[in-house]
């Protein structure tokens, strides 16, 4: 469920070391026994950011994105070059605030991940073209498990946007489209 290998489901940067009760036990004691209520978090996000926060709207619906059940891109926009998230819905804005997704270290990390992703994707295209299947596979595996894997997912989603080829470059677009096609195929088969 986490983007990136054993990464925090909230920030995507640090290793997941804690299990967070998404809906706090104080809010609903029975939720302690619901498997989908247990999310992998880093100690910083669990202890310093989210803690027992669980903001709700006027009709009682939770205003936090549950990364195991909702598509973050319905509520958040990531500006790749700056690494800054913007909430486009009340749920997106509350998620940024509660999880501290606007922290300077996270924004800087996402901006650097964008540069890393573009470079690795271009290298993947070269390895594929030259028939270096093992090197190409290792690059893709590295992309999938890196910190800030959400940056790669944002790039995949933006590959079809007008002007994407000008922003990413043709080789990066080629790689992103292949990732998107493989993801669609995996979703059909599951």
Full-prediction pTM beyond 0.85?
Answer: yes
Cα-based angle 134, 110, 140 (whole degrees, multiple of 5): 10
Q: pLDDT for 96-119, tens place per residue?
A: 999 999 999 999 999 999 999 999
If you write DSSP's letter for every residue of 66-84 in order, what string do you get?
Answer: -TTTS-GGGTEEEETTTTE
Q: pLDDT for 129-147, tens place per residue?
A: 999 999 999 998 888 888 8
In the chain, what is the greatest distance between 2 CA atoms, to the nearest angstrom? 58
């Amino acid at each position: 469920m986490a983007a990136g290998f054993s990464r925090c489901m909230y920030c995507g940067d640090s290793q997941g070391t804690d299990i967070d009760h998404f809906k706090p036990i104080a809010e609903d004691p029975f939720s302690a026994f619901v498997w989908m209520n247990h999310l992998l978090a880093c100690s910083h996000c669990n202890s310093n950011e989210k803690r027992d926060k669980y903001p709700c709207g006027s009709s009682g619906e939770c205003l936090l994105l549950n990364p195991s059940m909702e598509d973050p891109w319905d509520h958040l926009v990531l500006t790749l070059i700056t690494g800054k998230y913007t909430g486009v819905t009340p749920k997106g804005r509350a998620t940024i605030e509660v999880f501290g997704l606007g922290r300077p270290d996270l924004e800087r990390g996402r901006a650097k991940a964008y540069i890393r992703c573009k470079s690795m994707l271009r290298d993947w295209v070269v390895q594929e073209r030259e028939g270096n299947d093992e090197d190409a596979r290792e690059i893709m595996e590295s992309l999938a498990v890196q910190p800030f894997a959400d940056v790669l997912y944002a790039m995949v989603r933006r590959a079809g946007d007008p002007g994407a080829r000008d922003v990413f470059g043709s080789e990066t677009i080629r790689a992103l489209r292949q990732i998107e096609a493989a993801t669609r195929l995996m979703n059909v088969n599951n």
